[in-house]
Amino acid sequence: MLVRIPNVLTPAEVAHCRQRLEAADWVDGRVTAGQGSAKVKRNTQLPEEGEVATELGDLILTALEANPMFVSAALPSRVFPPLFNRYGPGDGFGAHVDNAIRQGLEAETRIRTDLSCTLFFSGPEEYDGGELAIDDTYGTHRVKLAAGDMVLYPSTSLHAVTNVTRGYRYASFFWLQSMVREDAQRTLLFDLDRAIQGLGADHPEHASVVPLTGIYHNLLRRWAEI
């Protein structure tokens, strides 16, 4: 399931992050790529766990913790510290699958990558190309969102970033381990939660709200690993 989470950051937060990102020192993006990916990756990144990445990463994680749609869609167990990349003219990232396990500098940051996240810091009008192209059973989805919006997609997906031909594309990318490992089960829980929220909003006294909520929690209890 591919989920767009709108307005993860406010316009003021996006502007602050952009200022910090544009003034930062960038390094070759192949530092975090696996052997296969390194051959098809052309971009720059902020140094992992550097001052800017840490500050902006904390800002993103704080915003996500308070975002009900993110929590419902991802059911996050452990989130890898956000990383940041920049694609300029001629940059791109060929088709690849993200590594299954990510190890940060500290032992507790080792996670299984169930979901991949890309949070956009550049608006679509600022650059040409630079689409995140994600393959699933329904074909290839081309994702290019407003600044402050984020896409969540299964880390099992083959994906690429098409070449940028004009401007700069700033984004944050990271992974998370979900309490529910299987995408199909997580999708079912997300759909059920959304349906219950919709019913509860339109008909708060409806007799089915409580039993449906019970079913949601009993499925989550059956499938969650914590």
Closer CB to Ni ion, 2 or 192, in the complex = 2
Q: Which of 87, 49, 67 is nearest to 166 (CA)?
A: 87
The mark string for 42-81 relative to Ni ion (x by CB under 5 A, - otherwise) is ----------------------------------------
Binding Ni ion (rule: CB under 5 A), the pick from 13, 91, 98, 183 is 98
Contacts with Ni ion by CB under 5 A: the residue count is 1
Q: Which of 62, 50, 65, 57 is nearest to 121 (CA)?
A: 57
What residues numbered 129-188 form the site for Ni ion, per CB under 5 A?
none
For residue 98, the minimal CB distance to Ni ion (Å) is 4
126 with 171: CB under 8 angstroms?
A: no
Q: Which residues pair with 18 in a beta bridge?
A: none
**Contacting range for Ni ion; rule: CB under 5 A; set: 52-60, 72-80, 91-99, 141-149:** 91-99
CA dihedral angle for residue 62, residue 99, residue 115, residue 183, rounded to 10 degrees: -160
Burial status of residue 186 (CB atoms within 10 A of its CB: 0-12, 13-18, 19 or more): buried
Closer CB to Ni ion, 6 or 36, in the complex = 36
**Contacting range for Ni ion; rule: CB under 5 A; set: 7-15, 90-98, 145-153, 194-202:** 90-98
Listed in order, strand segments (DSSP E) in 106-205 are: 111-112, 115-120, 132-136, 139-143, 150-154, 159-161, 169-178
Quick check: 91 binds Ni ion (CB under 5 A)? no
Closer CB to Ni ion, 116 or 178, in the complex = 116
**Contacting range for Ni ion; rule: CB under 5 A; set: 16-24, 74-82, 92-100, 141-149:** 92-100
Give the three-state DSSP class for 27: strand
For residue 182, the minimal CB distance to Ni ion (Å) is 20
For residue 9, the minimal CB distance to Ni ion (Å) is 21
Give the three-state DSSP class for 89: coil
What is the rounded CA–CA span in Å between residue 149 and residue 76?
18
For residue 151, the minimal CB distance to Ni ion (Å) is 12
What is the rounded CA–CA span in Å between residue 115 and residue 179?
11
**Contacting range for Ni ion; rule: CB under 5 A; set: 3-11, 21-29, 97-105, 149-157:** 97-105
Which spans of this chain sit near Ni ion (rule: CB under 5 A)? 98
